[in-house]
Amino acid sequence: MSFETVAWNAGEVVLIDQRRLPGEEIYLRLKTAVEVAEAIRDMVVRGAPAIGVTACMGLALGATQLEVKSRAEFNERFADLGRLFAATRPTARNLFWAVARMQSLVAAHPDKAPGDMAAILVAEGERVKQEDLRACHAMGRHGAALLEGPSRILTHCNAGGLATAGYGTALGIIRAAHAAGNITMVYADETRPFLQGARLTAWELHRDLIPVTLITDSMSGLMMRRGNVDAVVVGSDRIAANGDVANKIGTYLVAVAARDNNIPFYVAAPTTTVDLDTPTGDTIPIEERDPDEITMMGGVRLAPEGIQVANPAFDITPARLVTAIITETGVARPPYTESLAALVAAAS
Ligand code: MRU
């Protein structure tokens, strides 16, 4: 891949500004934890695994800059940083996993001086990035093996290199299958209202010379009914213990259409996205975003001023519509309560 989603460079967190793609490829060099947290909130970086890696690096950056007199004070201020990041976006499980991972590292080294602890956290940020990359490649291998020969895949939102440390979850499977000569077409839903499919998935695939056809969200049903789609592969922001899947708004409708057309519906996500503490999708928090994302486009008003708007950013696909969940440790099949718990245990 010829771009880098998130990197640590000489005491700065470097992010490709995803709000500017595909028009401009600009890298932002962030110098404080507050800047990194704002970048997550403002969607400079998005996609659950990429948010998790960025949060780890942002926490490490914050730790290097804490001016404290004691280790107790370091611990308190680091907990504040954890709260700062946890408040940025509510749905992606990986964000909370990232905060917990860095906090448990701090707890595991109670005797380290603040400066030494900060250095350990910086190294951990890079380790988490490498783990995510390896997880994406493993998902790619597991998922590509599920496809039965040359396939036409439909995907929703962006679950690619831009949404992870690199390579992608759903797009990782597509990349692995493409390398094996098994991708004849990828249908990319544009993904209203933030257009992650049109702006990001189409950009990534086109750039890697993987055949891609952009469609609007409302066209996916017809594509399936016409027999143009062999499998649906999407990512996830959080997977409940029973296999209910939170993903970008519109995913549920894709899953319903896939079931109606007997098309397998696969979800690809690292075990860091699985939330065994949340029993079902009913209690997964759904982010509600700015109405302007729907009423405006490129500064042009699309709807009457003052109109009431709902803008939930994610929906829940019930486990019964999910054919399989592909993680880095293997493929979970129903009943998910058992199979997901086993794959999470295998990761630790
Ligand atoms: O609002 P976003 O762009 O952060 O939402 C991203 C998605 O819904 C992705 O499908 C999900 O995070 C999986 S990314 C590998």
132 C-alpha to ligand 1 centroid (Å): 15
* Helix ranges, the chain (H): 33-41, 48-64, 71-86, 93-108, 114-144, 170-179, 196, 202-207, 220-225, 251-260, 292-295, 336-347
Structural domains of the chain ordered from first start:
6-136 (1.20.120.420), 139-347 (3.40.50.10470)
Q: What is the mean pLDDT of residues 224-231?
A: 98
**pLDDT at position 142:** 98
**Ligand 1 binding residues, C-beta < 6 A:** 46-49, 157, 159, 163-164, 169, 196, 235-237, 247-248, 313
Residues 6+ apart with CB under 8 A from 271: 135, 327, 328, 329, 343, 344, 347
Which atom of ligand 1 lies at the shortest distance from residue 48's CA?
A: 12
User: Ligand 1, atom 8: nearest CA belongs to which residue?
Assistant: 248
Per-residue pLDDT, 1: 65
Each residue's pLDDT tens digit, 265-302:
999 999 999 999 999 999 999 999 999 999 999 999 99
Cα-based distances in Å from 323 to 17, 223, 256, 263: 34, 19, 12, 9
Mean pLDDT of the chain: 98
Let me know how long the chain is.
348
- What's the pLDDT tens digit per position in 36-64? 999 999 999 999 999 999 999 999 999 99
Instruction: Determine the residue of 157, 171, 194, 286 to mutate for testing ligand 1's pocket, defined as the one with the most ligand atoms within 8 A of the Cβ atom.
Output: 157
- pLDDT above 70 (res 87): yes
Which tens digit of pLDDT belongs to each residue from 247-265? 999 999 999 999 999 999 9
What pLDDT, on a 0 to 100 scale, did the predictor assign at position 152?
98
Q: What local confidence, expressed as pLDDT, does residue 24 receive?
A: 98
pLDDT at 294: 98
| Residue 112 alpha carbon to ligand 1 centre in Å | 36
